[in-house]
Structure 1
Amino acid sequence: MARNQLAKLYKQLLTESHKFTDYNFRSHAMRRIQHLYGKNLEETNEEKLQDLIKNAEHDFKQIQRQVTIGQLYKVEHHILDQNE
């Protein structure tokens, strides 16, 4: 159950991080999510899974706030954005 919840949160985090308008914020968020949660999707220790879920929920809310704030201000597109 907890592993499924963590996997769902992992997908939500990646989806939400794609919404960053700035290339640098977007790529940093995606790397950070993959580093922190991607390697732990196969974790079996329930205590560790609960801690990861708690941290993932906190990170998800934080990314949502940052994306909303970022969308309020117009930024120039980064040259690397043309490739995505």
Structure 2
Amino acid sequence: MSSQSTQAVVPLYRSLLRMSKNFGSYNFREYALRRVRDGFQAHRAEKDLAVIEQLVLDGKAQLELLQRQTTISKMYEFNKTVVETQPSIKYA
């Protein structure tokens, strides 16, 4: 990957991860994080600049979608799941 494409991909990856963490629901949040990581991992070895440019455009569209969905998610209150409400265990 060239340095120019790296300069576009890394900030996009970070933005997608950051936006995914804004979901109110644990399940949506974990699903979005998993999709982002898996999507970037699947195309990690891509060398063709035209394909990389198209993937970056697709990623930007997904970022806009995540922004809309997280905004909608914040409008509703979600009950915490068992995973989120477990008390931390402290050992003596």
Q: Same fold (TM over 0.5)?
A: yes
CA distance in 2, matches of 1:57, 1:43: 18
Q: Does 1:49 align with 2:52?
A: yes
Match of 1:61 among 25, 39, 64: 64
Partner secondary structure for residue 37 of structure 1: helix
Higher RCO (Cα < 8 Å, 6 or more apart): 1
Report the 3-state secondary structure (helix = DSSP H, G, I; strand = E; otherwise coil) of the residue aligned with 1:21.
Answer: coil
Q: For each residue in 1:4-48, what CA deviation from the matched residue of structure 2 results, as whole angstroms up to 9, or x when unmatched?
A: 211110110001100111011001101111111134345321011
> Mean alpha-carbon deviation: is it higher for 19-28 or for 35-44?
35-44
Which of 65, 74, 77 aligns to 2:77? It is 74
User: Contact 1:3 / 1:41 at 8 angstroms: preserved in 2?
Assistant: no
Give the unaligned 5+ runs of structure 1: none
**1:4 and 1:82, CA in 2 relative to 1: closer, same or farther beyond 3 A?**
farther
The corresponding residue for 2:14 is 11
TM-score (norm 1): 0.88
Regions of 4+ moved over 4 Å: none
Unpaired stretches in structure 2, ≥5 consecutive residues:
87-92
Instruction: Count matched residues.
Output: 83
Q: Identity rate of aligned residues, in percent?
A: 25
